[in-house]
């Protein structure tokens, strides 16, 4: 399986329309890959809260349309990162979208854990409530977004739903870059799964982004890692390695369910 992570530079000097066209052109250039991944909120910026309300779009808006066309033209599965989704009956959401090689929107995932500790995303966006996996010819993909990486219980639930390859778009800041790499590797080792973690480059909303997108195998080995700037990271791996790792080192069989705190002594 050949995957390409597009670590896009999100620069406020570039208009969203220009960035949308540039991202679509970059996706088209990945013809020959099986799966292409874009980062979180690459159109408006993961920390550009002020732009979100006006720039929000529905799941059949201009970004969705451009991504569907690009996936079809390139003939690839496309995880198009996330957009600020406008739900006509509700709040805005941080929603990622997965397109098939025929350009069909097969899955969308509303980010469950919102970042900001009651501010920023956590204050202005609604929280997703549903786990999302997608069956492909390469195995089952499990979708998570950025801050979700800090919550192992989400990844365990996605594992239980069949995930072999986690796809994690992000807008992860440079100042916590060590956490990014650590969590991507930890989730891969814990769940004995591949992790495809695609970050942004550049500075948006005044927050310098960490780049360093990475692909990790089920043993925790980093197969490829980007630098800090815009870059397309392409790597090939055998997705059957997740099943092999689970068989060879069957730690998941030793899970003990329902562990509880001891009852209080009277």
Q: Catalytic: 72?
A: no
Q: Catalytic: 198?
A: no
- Alpha carbon distances (Å) from 120 to 48, 52, 85: 9, 10, 16
Site for ligand LYUYDEPV in 102-121 (CB under 6 A): 115
Q: Catalytic: 146?
A: yes
User: Could you give the CA distance from residue 105 to residue 102 in angstroms, rounded to a whole number?
Assistant: 9
Q: Which is nearer to ligand LYUYDEPV, 117 or 266 (CB)?
A: 117
Under rule CB under 6 A, residue 172 binds ligand LYUYDEPV: yes
Smallest gap from Cβ 140 to ligand LYUYDEPV, in A, equals 24
Smallest gap from Cβ 82 to ligand LYUYDEPV, in A, equals 9
Under rule CB under 6 A, residue 197 binds ligand LYUYDEPV: no
55 closest CA partner among 63, 44, 45, 65 = 44
User: Could you give the CA distance from residue 214 to residue 222 in angstroms, rounded to a whole number?
Assistant: 7
Under rule CB under 6 A, residue 93 binds ligand LYUYDEPV: no
Q: Which is nearer to ligand LYUYDEPV, 176 or 244 (CB)?
A: 176
Smallest gap from Cβ 121 to ligand LYUYDEPV, in A, equals 7
Spacing of C-alpha 141 from chain mean position: 11
Under rule CB under 6 A, residue 146 binds ligand LYUYDEPV: yes
The helix (run of H) or strand (run of E) holding residue 207 is strand 207-208
Neighbouring CB atoms inside 10 A of 198's CB total: 29
User: Could you give the CA distance from residue 43 to residue 207 in angstroms, rounded to a whole number?
Assistant: 15
Q: Which is nearer to ligand LYUYDEPV, 117 or 258 (CB)?
A: 117
- Contact between residue 7 and residue 226 where contact means Cβ atoms under 8 Å apart: yes
- Contact between residue 223 and residue 202 where contact means Cβ atoms under 8 Å apart: no
The catalytic residues are: 40, 111, 146
| Chain positions contacting ligand LYUYDEPV, by CB under 6 A | 40, 46, 115, 146-147, 150, 171-173, 176, 179
């Amino acid at each position: 399986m050949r995957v390409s992570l597009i670590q896009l530079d999100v620069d406020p000097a570039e208009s969203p329309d220009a960035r949308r066209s540039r991202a679509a052109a970059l996706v088209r250039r990945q013809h020959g890959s099986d799966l292409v991944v874009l980062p979180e909120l690459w159109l408006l910026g993961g920390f550009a809260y002020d732009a979100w309300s006006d720039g929000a779009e529905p799941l059949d808006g201009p970004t969705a349309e451009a991504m569907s066309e690009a996936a079809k033209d390139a003939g690839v599965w496309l995880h198009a990162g996330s957009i600020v989704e406008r739900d006509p009956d509700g709040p805005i959401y941080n929603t990622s979208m997965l397109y098939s090689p025929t350009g069909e929107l097969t899955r969308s995932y509303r980010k469950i854990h919102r970042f900001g500790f009651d501010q920023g995303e956590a204050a202005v966006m609604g929280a997703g409530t549903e786990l999302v996996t997608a069956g492909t010819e390469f195995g089952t993909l499990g979708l998570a977004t950025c801050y979700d990486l800090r919550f192992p219980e989400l990844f365990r639930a996605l594992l239980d739903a069949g995930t072999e390859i986690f796809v994690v778009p992000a807008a992860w800041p440079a100042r916590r870059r060590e956490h990014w790499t650590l969590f991507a590797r930890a989730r891969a080792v814990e769940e004995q799964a591949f992790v495809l973690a695609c970050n942004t480059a550049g500075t948006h909303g005044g927050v310098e982004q960490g780049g360093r997108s990475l692909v990790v195998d089920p043993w925790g080995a980093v197969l490829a890692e980007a630098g800090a700037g815009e870059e397309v990271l392409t790597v090939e791996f055998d997705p059957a390695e997740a099943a092999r790792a689970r068989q060879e080192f069957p730690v998941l069989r030793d899970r003990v369910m329902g562990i509880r705190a001891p009852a209080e002594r009277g």
